[in-house]
Chains A and B, each alone.
Chain A
């Protein structure tokens, strides 16, 4: 602090500190506080606000516990997001390893570019592309029946399948880059030394690569899980009424049910879920926030 003042003078230092503080308070802290406040109050008519009924209550949270459909969708969102995270990890691990250790540096840049290019397109449009690919009369079904693998087209967009595919695709980069970053710093000689001592590829990954890449794996999983649990576009486009996502229910409370208090409570439950997942990952991978920030 004093160093800052010495360097920039009092006025400029105050500005440098005030701007981010203002940003954090106005854009993050205040909205969250308002949300929390909303969540613990009942949904009242405008005339009743400030009246005797306007007290703090857990009623909004109780709705989630009691409404079996909402509860089922909430639990489905948890396991489906966890499943999306797992599939994304399995898909991205070999990609990241190949980029970090398997190719010459000149080619790495090119391959990364190939990975990024699709993401220059808006997420909705990308998801829509999958909608077309997976459609009942779409190219994937045409291909599969053309190859003689199926006699009748499959309804991919009927259940959770389309949603999971769409999410894995949407979040690939959020998994690949943390993994790549953490794997890239692994000294290649360590891999060769392990091989020289007789280790199989599987053991090299289990004992050398994965322990080294742990912070990256944790970061990638946290990103992917939070994005998946909080995703709205992908389930809305690729899901069906039977495969609703928790975010869709929150949306409905806010914009169709007009019950902001109920929506805020659900949103807070989702936020708590994500925080819980972060803590779980940190525990599972035995890393701390400092490692992840890297």
Chain B
């Protein structure tokens, strides 16, 4: 039913700006795939490449195994939902939805029937004759999706479609989108700079930075085993220690930092002497009360934030960035007031060691 999308060393340059650098990946048929990255990293450009609005400077894009170079957006099995939706304000809702069918010469009564079916699907029955201006943000959102689905695309391209909605509605629409994708079986390629959104909705996520695809993986993989320092700090919160590898063996390594000597998973496959970064998540840090934890450090607490279910402590570790600890509020949390010393610990399995490429 749905086709896969392959990118093969795709490069896109606009004059001197390289918006996409050597991106290769395969989005599988029927998959919910997200591109995640900060603003300006080339996400929209990548989506426009897949949709056929622009052709890559170098490389190849295949949909369902077929090379797409030179094939315009109107002849690709893709449909795009634009960052600003781009509904047609001068047409009523049903004509918006049925526009793709009108183009294909479907008779009017049939178009109307299909539009009403789709309105049913997006839970807006009875909205056929409304004007676009009369709809709320979430309703417009859904009409845009229906308009794209009406042409029965193999691949649906979504460019940050939820960014204009408020938080509540956004969460609701996430669930709806996900359910819709499951129901229709269409391949979704979704763009967002919101990592919570990407992790919550996607089968797999591709993380981008400055036109480079940094890592592709399931949300858990990205979170637990980031492969680059960018992914480690962009996806979720992370504490970072810089140092040098002392010894490496059996997939683990020991690094020497100004805050202490720590052991962690040698994800970056470094060898002794190399410059390294160690990342450990705030929730994987614990207050070590003499227990048997592998890595420990002692530092003065500078801030304490109470957030109900969680308590955040910030410790000023000498020779390192401040370290954040997230403690579940189980009632057993020791009172660590700002100014007091605290000893933190973490397991080697919870720490990821990556090569320090000298940026940031």
Q: Which residues of B contact A20 (CB under 8 A)?
A: none
Q: Please tell me if the beta carbons of B74 and A195 are within 8 angstroms of each other in the complex.
A: yes
Q: How distant is B159 from chain A, measured CB to nearest CB, in Å?
A: 10
Q: Which of A76-84, A150-158, A206-214, A221-229 forms contacts with chain B? A: A206-214
Tell me which residues across on chain B come within 8 A of A212, comparing CB atoms: 90
Query: Judging by beta carbons under 8 Å apart, are A193 and B82 in contact?
Result: yes
Determine whether the beta carbon of B84 is less than 8 Å from that of A197. Answer: no
Interface residues of A in 23-37 (CB under 8 A from B): none
- Among B98-106, B134-142, B197-205, B274-282, the stretch in contact with A: B98-106
Residues on B with C-beta less than 8 A from A67 are none
Q: Are A195 and B99 in contact (CB under 8 A)?
A: no
Q: In whole angstroms, how far apart are the Cα atoms of A200 and B102 in the complex?
A: 11
Chain B, Cβ-Cβ closest to A199? B103
- Please name all residues of chain A whose beta carbon is closer than 8 Å to the beta carbon of B84 when the two chains form the complex: 187, 189
Within 8 A of B (CB), among A143-198: 187, 189-190, 192-198
Chain B residue contacts of A199, Cβ below 8 A: 74, 99, 103
A189 touches B103 (CB 8 A): no
Q: How far does the alpha carbon of A212 sit from the alpha carbon of B102 in the complex, in Å?
A: 19
CA distance A145 to B147 in the complex (A): 56
B30 within 8 A of A: no
Residues of A contacting B: mostly: helix
Q: For chain B residues 137-154, which have a beta carbon within 8 Å of chain A?
A: 147-148, 151
| Alpha-carbon separation in the docked complex, A98 to B151 (Å) | 29
**Of residues 2 to 31 in A, which have CB atoms within 8 Å of B's CB atoms?**
none
Q: Given contacts A192-B53, A192-B73, are A198 and B100 in contact (CB under 8 A)? A: yes
Q: Does B230 contact A (CB under 8 A)?
A: no
Q: Is B80 an interface residue (CB 8 A)?
A: yes
Q: Is the CB of B100 within 8 A of A192?
A: no
Q: B103 touching A197 by the CB < 8 A rule? A: yes
Q: Determine how close the nearest CB of chain B comes to the CB of A201; give it in whole angstroms.
A: 10
CB of B312 closer than 8 Å to a CB of A: no
Query: B99, A187: Cβ atoms under 8 Å?
Result: no
Residues 110-142 of chain A, each 1 if its beta carbon lies under 8 Å from chain B, else 0: 000000000000000000000000000000000
In the complex, the number of residue pairs spanning A and B with C-beta atoms less than 8 Å apart equals: 60
Contact A193 B90 (CB under 8 A): no
Residue of A nearest to B151 (CB): A197
- Chain B residues 305-356 with CB under 8 Å of chain A are none
- Name which residue of chain B comes closest to A193, CB basis: B86
Give the residue of A195, A197, A208, A211 whose beta carbon is less than 8 angstroms from that of B147.
Answer: A197
Contact of B86 with A197 in the complex, beta carbons under 8 Å:
no
> Which parts of B67-103 form the interface with A (CB within 8 Å)?
72-75, 78-80, 82-84, 86-88, 90-91, 99-100, 102-103
**A190 engages B151 (CB within 8 Å):** no
- Collect the chain B residues with CB atoms within 8 Å of residue A190's CB: 86-88
In the docked arrangement, what's the CA distance between A207 and B151, Å? 18
Do the beta carbons of A207 and B86 come within 8 Å of each other?
A: no
A203 at the interface (CB under 8 A from B): yes
Check if B206 is an interface residue, CB within 8 A of chain A.
no
B51 engages A196 (CB within 8 Å): yes
* Category for how many chain A residues contact B: 10 to 19
Find the B residue at minimum CB distance from A212.
B90
CA distance in complex: A239, B191 (Å): 63
A218 to chain B, nearest CB (A): 15
Which chain A positions have C-beta within 8 A of B87?
Answer: 190, 193
Establish whether residues B74 and A198, one from each chain, have CB atoms under 8 Å apart when the complex forms: yes
What is the total number of residues of chain B having a CB less than 8 Å from a CB of chain A? 25
- On chain A, the residues within 8 Å of B51 by CB distance are 196
Chain B residues near A196 (CB-CB < 8 A): 51, 53, 73-74, 78-80
What separation, in Å, do the CA atoms of A194 and B51 have in the docked complex?
A: 13
CB neighbours (8 Å) of B79 from chain A are 196-197
Asked if A203 contacts B86 (CB within 8 A), the reply is no
**Contacting residues, chain B, for A195 (C-beta < 8 A):** 53, 72-74
- How many angstroms between the C-alpha atoms of A203 and B102 in the bound complex? 10
Nearest-neighbor residue (CB-CB) of B75 within chain A: A198
Which B residues are in CB contact (< 8 Å) with A192?
53, 73, 80, 82, 86
| Closest chain A residue to B53, Cβ basis | A192
Alpha-carbon distance A212/B91, docked complex (angstroms): 11
Q: Does B82 lie within 8 Å of A189, measured CB to CB?
A: yes
Cβ of B147: which chain A residues have Cβ within 8 Å of it? 193, 197
A208 partner residues in chain B, CB cutoff 8 A: 88
Of B99, B104, B148, the residue contacting A194 (CB under 8 A) is B99
Residues of A contacting B104 in the complex (Cβ-Cβ under 8 angstroms): 198
**B99 close to A207 (CB less than 8 A):** yes
User: Which chain B positions have C-beta within 8 A of A207?
Assistant: 88, 91, 99, 102
The complex places the Cα of A193 from the Cα of B75 at a distance, in Å, of 13
Per the bound structure, the CA–CA distance linking A190 and B148 in Å amounts to: 13
Evaluate contact between B82 and A197: CB separation under 8 angstroms. Answer: no
Cα of A203 to Cα of B80 in the assembled complex, Å: 19
Complex formed: what's the CA distance from A200 to B105 in Å? 12
Expressed in whole angstroms, the Cα–Cα distance for A38 and B75 within the complex equals 67
User: By CB atoms of chain A within 10 A, which of B79, B88, B90, B104 has the most?
Assistant: B88
Q: How far is B79's CA from A190's CA once the two chains are assembled, in angstroms?
A: 13
Q: How far is the CB of B47 from chain A (nearest CB, A)?
A: 11
Q: In the complex, are the beta carbons of B86 and A187 less than 8 A apart?
A: yes
Least CB distance, A285 to chain B, in whole angstroms: 13
Could you say which residues of chain B place their CB within 8 Å of the CB of A211?
A: 90
Residues on A with C-beta less than 8 A from B100 are: 197-198
Docked complex Cα distance between A208 and B102 (Å):
13
**Cα(A285)–Cα(B80), bound, Å:** 31
Let me know if B99 and A197 touch, CB within 8 A: yes
- Residue contacts A-B, CB under 8 angstroms, 10 given: A190-B86, A192-B73, A192-B82, A192-B86, A196-B51, A197-B100, A197-B148, A198-B151, A199-B103, A207-B88
A residues with CB within 8 A of B: 187, 189-190, 192-200, 203, 207-208, 211-212
Given contacts A193-B82, A197-B103, A198-B104, 17 further A-B contacts (CB under 8 A): A190-B87, A190-B88, A192-B86, A193-B86, A193-B147, A194-B99, A195-B74, A196-B53, A196-B73, A197-B100, A197-B148, A197-B151, A198-B75, A199-B74, A199-B103, A200-B74, A207-B99
